[in-house]
Chain A
Amino acid sequence: MPIKSYLAHPHDGKKEQLLQDLSIIQECEVLPAENRDILILVTDTKDDHSEVELEKKLKTIKSLKLLAMVSGFNSKQN
């Protein structure tokens, strides 16, 4: 159900790595900034449990320095 958006800050010099790390996660859509070391992350999970699991997975990504949430929506799954 949840759709959330975040600003994802990579560790120094790890922007490309973070882009790759996030892109391979099915529930993640990533949009890198052209001129800043920052990425927009939109997550789309089927239920609260999946959301918790995804959050755990995100915390293990070494190239990720900080994840700042911007918005969260609850919408019926397709």
Chain B
Amino acid sequence: MYTSLTNRREFIKKMAKLSAMAAAASMFPGIIFAEEQEAGIPADAKLDWKKGPCRFCGVGCGILVGTENGKAVAVKGDPKCEVNKGLLCVKGYHQTMCVQARDRLTHALVKKNGRYVKTPIDEALDLVASKMKETIEKHGKDSVAMYTSGQSTIPEGYVASKLMKGAIGTNNLECNARLCMASAVAGFLTTFGTDEPMGCYEDIDHADYFVTWGNNMAEMHPVLFSRMLEQKSTRGAKIIDFATRTSRSSGASDRSILFEPQTDLAVANAICYEIINNNWMNKSFVEKHCNFSKGLTNMGYGTEDKYKFSDKPEKVDFEAYKEFLKDYTPEKVAKYSKVSVKDIKYLAAIYGDPNKKVVSYWCMGVNQHTRGTWMNNLIYNMHLLTGKISQPGNGPFSLTGQPSACGTAREVGTFTHKLPKGVVMNEKHRRLAAKIWKVPYENIPSKPTYHTTEMFRAVDRGDIKFIWTQVTNPLVSLPKTSRYRPGMQKDSCFVVVSDVFPTPTSDVADVILPASWHIEKGGIYGNSERRTQYWDQMVEAPGEATPDAWMTIEIAKRMGFGELFPYTRENHVDEIYNEYRQFHEGVKHGMAPLDVLKKESGVIWPYVDGKSTQWRFNATYDPACDNGEDFHFYGKPDGRAIIWLRPFEPAAESPDDEYPFWLNTGRVVEHWHTGSMTRRIPVLHQAMPAAYVEFHPDDAKKLGVRNGEKIKVSSRRGSCILPASINERGLPTRGQVFVPFFDENMLINDVTLDAFCPISKEPDFKKCAVKVEKA
């Protein structure tokens, strides 16, 4: 096609401007260029601005999408949304551009004789339903599985759970939130007996210190980080970055403290030792509101198939806890954590100062950890010992990665052990689900089956013979894809993939179902701070692309469960939410009615008497507190939170002579997870076109590695070739390399290890041993 020089030059100028905007957004999270946001909008445009949450990340920024003639033509931050107050990051601002990608999946594709054939959606759904039914008849209910997402909407997760657990009667339902939030869930349940953070983002406006644990918020939660930076400049709040890699967050923090991978367990205990040793403990709070417990240790790492573990909690007293902490004096811990005694004492003094408010933030560094549940427990220990919890500006806050990891994965419960309220192991919870779903109570099995890693092992073993993935790309995001990709390619399993774009996962599918994207359907998300966010469909989906919830409903109908799914296509989001809301009635988890959700830019639960509950467990703010005290941890039968004795244990695999480097993997600000959407947004792709392997300059010098040189990163599982990056985006510690996982052309998860936390079953993507050599 001919392009005039004038057009080409204008195009290049626009690209230059957008590159600068991307860079500015990375350096100054939340930066707004209003003029550019309006650029490209015709002067006489009569835009219809519709509200919704952002599609990317768990922060839950409010967006306003401008539509004209049925197309999304502009996106801006919603100034009325309390989450982002009008700010957006570079991904949020450009998000709707991906729907224009040329390789968008618009029709169902069915593999016939090794080739994908365009197929009418009804025919493809017939095939999926018949395959699912046939597999159940031949091999039993537990031979079929669904693998969904923390990016699924609440209605999507709800109908998936109802189909699998209520109608079919199998607990073979999991989601990719197992890869990112399961340790947070297990941490909340073990310490407090109830899931999700007690505080909210408004804590940022009150805290004196933000301590981030293995958490690069400047890139992963840029809008929240920009709110923290604002408090830093206006009120003098301090940000302390505690991590294994120097990142953009480190550069913007007041203090960056680096630790040896896995030793965060020891440092957290050392901080608790110091709090007690210096008499900084809030004795009356601990006496009134806490118990002490210990659990099993040396649990292993789950690297073998069919690994099982159940903890055996044992109540202990404060003296036993003090004795336990004697192994964690700052002097002892400094020797192996590489954190100086001075820095450990500095951190302890922050938590210990009764006049300073502290918020701890963490996300994947703590959760993707073979002792992730323990790390969550240990952060809670610091806040419980000092009584700095459930108050404005004081509290531990586990951030989520995905936009509805809380709303869908955790609250609806798209894990094998979960129900929309409670767990499958609990008879009362099963009876409630059976009543609301109108299915026989016996339909819902009482035993969990496969957590995510074990689910894909079961596919590889041939135990699961049908799997349907929705809104996720496991063959890029799972650990040890070097095993699970060939596993999914086996003829023993029929693979159905619902997605918006082709991915390495859809490449192995027998049927590909075209899904509607975010704004092409209505939906509801739940963000990190318990905020439920509703949006209406804004534009039509192309071709036969269909909302995931509706495809699940269509499959249910075809399998003979139609009367359990009496929803209408036009109103299914509202109808499903109204049914789902019954599960959470009451002061502990009451959810806002639809008319409120439609009006507001998100509402925090528990929603009681027309009001959001911002700080749970604190009687001043939380109407569910009924023990007559100032605090009430009502998730536990005796109303007390638990301070856990959790020791340091080494990683599943550590560097040795053959594989001398730690491998750490993660994300970059420009890309959302596996990049299937953001790599189709030109400005984001151009800003970060390919993955890389980051070296510490001393290691690079020792190995004679130059910037951009091709490097082969190998582990005992597989290898990956990437260009070297030295002194660019981030700086790993000596003896460590870092690789982002967004690039499907450089599959670093072929290299990672599928070891997981035995309690949460969440894999550790941050630590395994590799060797590096010039390719």
Contact = CB atoms under 8 A, between A and B. Distances in A.
Contacts of B23: 7, 68, 70
A36 B16 contact: no
Interface string B20-37: 110110011011111110
Given A31-B35, A31-B36, A73 B30 contact: no
B133 to A, nearest CB: 55
A40 B20 contact: yes
B234 to A, nearest CB: 13
B9 A3 contact: yes
Contacts of B27: 7
A77 B4 CA distance: 11
A60 interface: no
A78 interface: yes
Given A31-B35, A35-B30, A71 B13 contact: no
Contact of A33 (B9, B15, B19, B33): B33
Interface in A5-64: 5-7, 29, 31-36, 38, 40-42, 44
A76 to B, nearest CB: 6
Given A38-B31, A40-B33, A70-B19, A7 B24 contact: yes
Contacts of B36: 31
Interface in B1-51: 5-6, 8-9, 12-13, 15-17, 19-21, 23-24, 27-28, 30-36
Contacts of B5: 75-78
B471 interface: no
A31 B39 CA distance: 11
A37 B15 CA distance: 22
Given A3-B9, A75-B8, A78-B9, A33 B16 contact: no
B15 A73 contact: yes
Interface in B452-508: none
A38 B31 CA distance: 9
Given A7-B24, A33-B24, A75-B9, A42 B16 contact: yes
Contact of B87 (A35, A44, A75): A35
Given A29-B13, A36-B31, A38-B28, A7 B20 contact: yes
A78 B24 CA distance: 29
Contacts of B8: 75-76
B28 A36 contact: yes
Given A3-B9, A78-B9, A33 B32 contact: yes
A36 B21 CA distance: 12
A36 B347 CA distance: 31
Given A5-B17, A71-B20, 9 more contacts: A4-B16, A7-B27, A31-B36, A33-B31, A33-B33, A36-B24, A38-B31, A71-B16, A72-B16
Interface of A: 3-7, 29, 31-36, 38, 40-42, 44, 68, 70-73, 75-78
Interface of B: 5-6, 8-9, 12-13, 15-17, 19-21, 23-24, 27-28, 30-36, 87
16 contacts: A3-B9, A3-B16, A5-B16, A5-B17, A5-B19, A5-B20, A6-B20, A7-B23, A29-B13, A36-B24, A40-B17, A40-B24, A71-B15, A77-B9, A78-B5, A78-B9
Nearest 7 interchain pairs by C-beta: A5-B16, A5-B20, A71-B19, A34-B32, A70-B20, A40-B20, A70-B23
